[in-house]
Structure 1
Amino acid sequence: MQESYIKYYSHRLGRDIEMLVYGHWGYPVLLFPTTMGRYYEAKDFKLIDAIQGHIESGHIKLYCIDSIDKDSWYAKHLHPGTRIWNHVLYDRFISEELVPYIQRECNVDKIGVAGCSFGGFQALNYAFRHPDQVAHLMAMGAKYDIRSFMDGYYDDNVYFNNPVDYVPNAQNEHLYQMRIVLGTSEYDFCKPSTLQMSGILNAKGIHHWLDVKPWGEHDWPVWRSQFPEYLNGI
């Protein structure tokens, strides 16, 4: 299985962002790490092993991106307005620099995004903010209300990065074209939030697959089971 290390300089962030890329060819999927996770997390927790067949067959090409959570959502030493602004810059790096690079490299108009836990929030938030860039969304074991990170602070940047707030009012035809999977499990503490997001999408008539596994908690064994299954839909 081909593994490539990339250090991508972001002009939006003014820093290098590290990535691991798996596969020689295939439909591109951008994978976000869990809370403050690094670009090698999916490898360490055997998520890459779980989807090895998809990668080796040329079905997908997986881009494992680094996070900047310690400078944004989890940067308790910073003012909440600065935290959310740092995330806005991260979003701009992805939408204006990284995704166009992936589109050119893989010769596609849209990509797939995925993530587990906080990475699932990141994936869903990115997909719903940029539906013109995303054809496939696979979010596993995630919560979709980030107001608890903001210590009571609220502005437009918070609103437009809090899916439970902005999705009910979103009007974009690409949302209705996207293949959306919301995955959780019976004993996942994020299950209520996943059900809430499913309800929001149902109210808007946005087709999606709500997958609640009848076993398992908020942990990697569930996600290693779900991810290969969800990739079958690409």
Structure 2
Amino acid sequence: MEISQQNANPIMNRTYHKWFSANLHRNMEMLVFGHAGRAVLFFPTRMARFYDYENWGIVDALKDKLENGELQLFCVDSIDSESFYNHWVHPVTRIERHLQYEQYILTEVLPVMQTENKGEYFEVAGCSMGAYHAINLAMKHPTLFKKVISMSGRYDLTQQIEDFKDLFDGYRDENIYFNMPLQFMANMEDESVLNTIKKMEIIMAVGETDPFITSNRNFSHLLSAKGIAHQLYIWDNYAHRPRYWKQMVHLYL
């Protein structure tokens, strides 16, 4: 594993990681900000990169918490262009590639987080497509996370919403079903799983004119029907931009 310390800000630790993923059969990169505190796995937006949150000023919006040791941010890379947005391959291949990515997160990234942080639990967050990744992972593996924060998310990728198409072109199978939170959570009856989810802090935020607001409201209603406490914050206007996410992370992370 390649690790390098790169501190433009000498107080706020910044560490670059790169290694060959056994699950994905390719090099993967990650940036870690901060030295202690709550360990947050931070998924990027649609087909974005591990460095985009830094470039957009979103990491800097958390500077005080990072410098004070309240928060440690693990910004992972995306392979959405090889999975959900790889329209050149069959939907079966798309979801299988996503499942390989999930195993990369679970068996490669989380151990690095544990080594770097030494904390007792993880949190998970994301914006836009990253919000989908955060909610999906947290609902599927609730024993791993104490908190999930999703900003401007979409929770069923099989639904066409305005210009956002069904990412599986009408194809459906079990793997797709069990990775669409609006679908599999609707039929979740296992009390032990539901009770574990109920222990998590769940925060969702979305703009009132965001195309995904209905997805957020539907997921909120679903959680309420299951007796799962959560917060849904509706922001003014579209709020699907980095300038809004900078404000959201400061409030919710």
- Pair in the same fold by TM > 0.5: yes
SS of residue matched to 1:168:
coil
Larger radius of gyration: 2
**Equivalent position SS for 1:85:** helix
Which of 157, 174, 190 is the equivalent residue of 1:156? 174
Q: Is 1:143 aligned with 2:143?
A: no
Deviation at 1:168, TM superposition (A): 1.8
Other-structure match for 1:86: 97
Which SS does the other structure have where 1:63 is aligned?
Answer: strand
8 A contact 1:110–1:133 mirrored in 2: yes
Structure 1 contact 189–218 (Cα < 8 Å) conserved: no
Q: Distance in 2 between matches of 1:187 and 1:219?
A: 12
User: How far has the Cα of 1:215 moved from its partner?
Assistant: 4.0
Aligned sequence identity (%)? 37
C-alpha distance 155-109 of structure 1, shift in aligned 2 (>3 A)? farther
* Match of residue 188 from structure 1: 210
| Structure 2 contact 35–117 (Cα < 8 Å) conserved | no
Deviates more, 1:222-231 or 1:201-210: 222-231
Alignment-derived partner of residue 161 in structure 2: none
1:118 aligned to 2:126?
no
Deviation at 1:216, TM superposition (A): 4.3
Task: Quote the Cα distance in structure 2 between the aligned partners of 1:8 and 1:70.
Answer: 20
Partner of residue 7, structure 2: none
CA contact (8 A) 1:109 1:133 kept: no
CA RMSD for the aligned pairs? 1.2
For the Cα contact (< 8 Å) 1:185–1:222, is it kept in 2? no
Q: Cα offset for 1:189?
A: 1.8
SS at match of 1:21: strand
Does residue 1:6 correspond to 2:24, yes or no? no
Task: Report the CA distance between 1:17 and its aligned residue.
Answer: 1.0
Give the counterpart of 2:55 among 44, 62, 87. 44
Give unpaired runs (5+ residues) of structure 2.
1-11, 159-165
Out of 214, 220, 225, the position equivalent to 1:198 is: 220
TM-score (norm 1): 0.95
Q: In proportion to residue count, which structure has more helix?
A: 1
- Residue 55 of structure 1 corresponds to which residue in structure 2? 66
TM-score of the aligned structures, taking structure 2 as reference length: 0.88
Query: Is residue 213 of structure 1 aligned with residue 235 of structure 2?
Result: yes
Equivalent residue number for residue 134 of structure 1: 145
Match 2:34 to one of 23, 38, 41: 23
- Kindly indicate whether the alpha-carbon contact (under 8 Å) linking 1:110 and 1:135 is maintained by their aligned counterparts in 2: yes
CA distance in 2, matches of 1:180, 1:58: 22
